[in-house]
Structure 1
Amino acid sequence: MSNLTEGILIAFFLGGGLLLILSTYIFGVYRNKSHNNFIMFNTLLMSYDWIFYIIFNIWIFTADLGHVDLDYMNSIPFLTILLTTCLMVFFHSILTFIILLREINNNEQFRAWFQEHKVFCLFIAFCSLSNFNVLHVLNCKFNSMDIFDAKLSFTVEKKIIHASAVSIIVGDVPRVSNLLIIHFLYAPASAFNHLYAISIICTFLSGLVFIIGFFYRIYESLIRDYEKPTAQEFTAQELTAQELIAQELTAQKLTAQELTAQELIVSKKSKKQFSEA
């Protein structure tokens, strides 16, 4: 592949993709400034990066493997990419499964939303394998559309933030580091550099997502105001405790009413006796 062709591919996929993502963000701001439109921008960017990361992994394991001397040094990028990807996907898949299952079991409003938008929710769960922050898009209320109004509970919102902070160390840092090493050390001198454009696009997108995500996570942890939970989320024990408290309050009210009734009867009897006397 010639340098001109690679340059055209890089400009088309990077420029066109980023322009489309930015246009979506501007559209959301134009329709409703009060909604968190930056979540949509960040989610589209992370999803775009995830698509190219998958393409990059397929490419690095298939491109001209017959011409690559798989000695110890040449196998390092393959092994590191494989290990990093497996660790990142495993970590994010476990957390995504736990969080979504918890919401389905404990949040009635989310359960009702999930029944209507299963396919979309599963797609977002797939995108979260690359970056856990993608789950925020379920509740971003983009363009006042019901599909972006999953009504995540306050507890889950906080858990997503905490898990995203951990995923920086588990997924983002190793992935970007590996891409930089492969891009600058291995790709130029390797036998599969005829698809060098993929390496440039993937490295640029991953670096951009990492920088934006890092500062956005700081913003989330320190500044962002959270909505009050729209749905009551009680476990079985909490429900039992609430029911017991309600029963006690009801019993106290009944006791107070009974005492008041007895006092009235006694008072009437006293007045009657006094009048007869």
Structure 2
Amino acid sequence: MAAQGFSSSQRSENQFIAEKLREVGDLLKQQGATQFRINAYHEAASFVATLPQPIRDIYTEHGEKGLEDLPTIGVSIAAAIAELLDDGSLSVIDRLRGSADPEELFQTVPMIGPTLAREIHETLHVETLEALEAAAVDGRLATVKGIGQRRSASIGYALNEMLARRRPSRPKHAMDTPAISEILAVDQIYRDTANSLPSIKPRRFNETGERRIPILHMERGHWQFTALYSNSAAAHKYGRTQDWVLIYFERDGHPEGQATVVTKHNGALEGRRIVRGHESACAKFYGL
């Protein structure tokens, strides 16, 4: 019997969220992800589907921390549920389907229109609002043409307001990001095995409708990684669709992050694979 006050619309919302989580698990299974990660989404979907109260009520009262405290729901899945409750959509599904459009996503941020969204994406190669916020914090966003320090601060403030309810409940620290050596190792494995990996069919820049972007899911240590070639306008413009690699990472107790690995074409790191925005750390890694 449903809990008192649990309306049919609220029950439907729980079922909607459960279906989306189950879809993520199914896509991960099709693409060869680790069984642990597949099971995490399927178990969370089953839990939400049978939850005897509206999950939105938990989120409204306790925020993302309240979702994290539920059985089978960790930090990453709590963030996914929060995104579904806030936006009605889930960016990880778009990514796994090949239908993600970062430029469209960035236009949901005040002060960012189509032209600026394109400039941000082509310059920074970030794909998510969380990655865009990180770029505002570390100064990369201010380097984008047409932005500057003052506008970057304003965009950062707007992003903070938008993402506040999804903010991790624990303070960030250095271990939130894998070591440069780990990111570069995943990049190497991805490029070495790309021809044998499952592929996705991107919605953008794909007139023939073919499955042409290999996708890798793997686990290294405590980290779960997903890697795929960039499908950005800039990657196509500069002929880097087989060079620029987007790497997403997460681990238990930490939110998802993103790195972009490219071949450096000038300076002391010329010809080497580097993590954009972390050139100094890469130089240290290479002993330069």
TM-score interval for Structure 1 and Structure 2 normalised by the shorter chain: under 0.3
More strand by share: 2
The structure whose Rg is larger is: 1
* Structure (1/2) with the larger helix percentage: 1
TM-score (norm 1): 0.27
Scaled by the length of structure 2, what TM-score is found?
0.26
Instruction: Identify the structure with bigger relative contact order (alpha carbons < 8 Å, sequence gap 6+).
Output: 1
